[in-house]
Every structure is written in structure tokens, then in C-alpha cells.
């Protein structure tokens, strides 16, 4: 007759999983090949350009350098946050996420649960629980009915 009040919001599982997988994928790529710097555009124009003054203050070199510094710092902070969140997971949850998403790109779920000696059902439960925890620790959860 009375409803239980839940303090945890109901999250959209598919959207949350998608966001967590995107973050884990970018961290995996960063750990494998490092940060890929953007190069400055150096295409010369040999024809004169006739236009009025734009009063544009800036240069491609500054813009490129600023982008490189900001994005490298952003990905390093993200990696640090993911490492910190992974250390808070249980041993088995950490192993599942590490083997499936952070080591090699051509690993599938059935390979991981066979390697860890788990049934498929137990593996999917552990993985879902780990995703739920990671989403909240990294603030990536998507609440149902909330606009992105």
C-alpha cells in the first residue's frame, strides 16, 4: 500500500553504458598510443585576398598550441579519474572492466568470462554492477527522463 522512497535516481542503462564505454575506449587509446597532437594548418595562399579589415586577433599557432595543451590536460585528468574509480571497484569487477575495455580492442565478452572462469550470467551481472558504480564515480550517469 505504501511505496518505498528511493534516494537513487533511476538511470537510463543504455545511455549510461554508452557514455562509460566511450570514456573507457578513449582511455584505452590514450594508454596505447598517447596523446595525438593537432598540427598547425600551413596551407599557403598565393593569390591576394581582397577584403575589409576583420580585426581578428589570433594566430593559428596560438590556437593549435592552446588546443593541444587543453585537450592533453583533459585526457590526463580523465585517465586519473578512471584509475581512481577502477581502484574502488572490487577485484572481480576491476578484472572484468580491465580485460574487456582497457587492454585490447579485439576482446569480446565470451572471451573474458571464459578467461575469468565465470558463467555468462554471472559475468553480465558483475559487468553491469561495475558499469553502474563507474558511472556514478565518474559522474556519467544519465537519469531517465532527463534531457542530455
Residue 1 has pLDDT above 60, yes or no: no
Q: What residues pair up with 59 in beta bridges, in sequence order? A: none
**Is the separation of the CB atoms in 100 and 107 below 8 Å?**
yes
Task: State the pLDDT at residue 5.
Answer: 65
Q: 11 - beta bridge partners? A: 143
- pTM across the whole model: 0.75
Q: How many whole angstroms separate alpha carbon 76 and alpha carbon 25?
A: 14
* Domains (range + CATH), the chain: 13-36+68-137 (1.10.10)
DSSP string, 10-75: PB-HHHHHHHHHHHHHHHHHHHHH---PPPPP-----S------------HHHHHHHHHHHHHHHH
What are the tens digits of pLDDT across the range 10-38? 888 899 999 999 999 999 998 888 877 77
Contacts of 37 (CB under 8 A, 6+ apart): 68, 72
Which tens digit of pLDDT belongs to each residue from 68-125? 889 999 999 999 999 999 999 999 999 999 999 998 778 899 999 999 999 999 999 9
**What mean pLDDT comes out for the span 129-142?**
93
Amino acid at each position: 500500500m505504501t511505496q518505498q522512497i528511493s534516494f537513487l535516481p533511476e538511470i537510463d542503462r543504455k545511455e549510461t553504458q554508452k557514455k562509460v564505454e566511450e570514456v573507457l575506449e578513449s582511455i584505452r587509446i590514450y594508454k596505447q598510443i598517447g596523446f595525438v597532437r593537432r598540427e598547425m594548418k600551413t596551407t599557403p595562399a598565393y593569390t591576394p585576398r581582397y577584403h575589409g579589415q576583420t580585426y581578428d586577433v589570433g594566430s593559428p599557432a596560438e590556437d593549435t598550441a592552446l588546443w593541444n595543451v587543453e585537450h592533453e590536460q583533459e585526457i590526463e585528468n580523465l585517465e586519473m579519474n578512471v584509475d581512481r574509480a577502477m581502484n574502488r571497484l572490487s577485484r572481480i569487477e576491476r578484472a572484468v572492466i580491465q580485460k574487456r575495455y582497457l587492454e585490447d580492442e579485439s576482446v569480446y565478452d565470451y572471451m573474458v568470462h571464459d578467461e575469468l572462469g565465470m558463467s555468462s550470467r554471472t559475468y553480465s551481472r558483475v559487468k553491469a554492477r561495475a558499469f553502474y558504480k563507474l558511472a556514478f564515480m565518474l559522474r556519467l550517469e544519465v537519469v531517465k527522463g532527463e534531457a542530455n
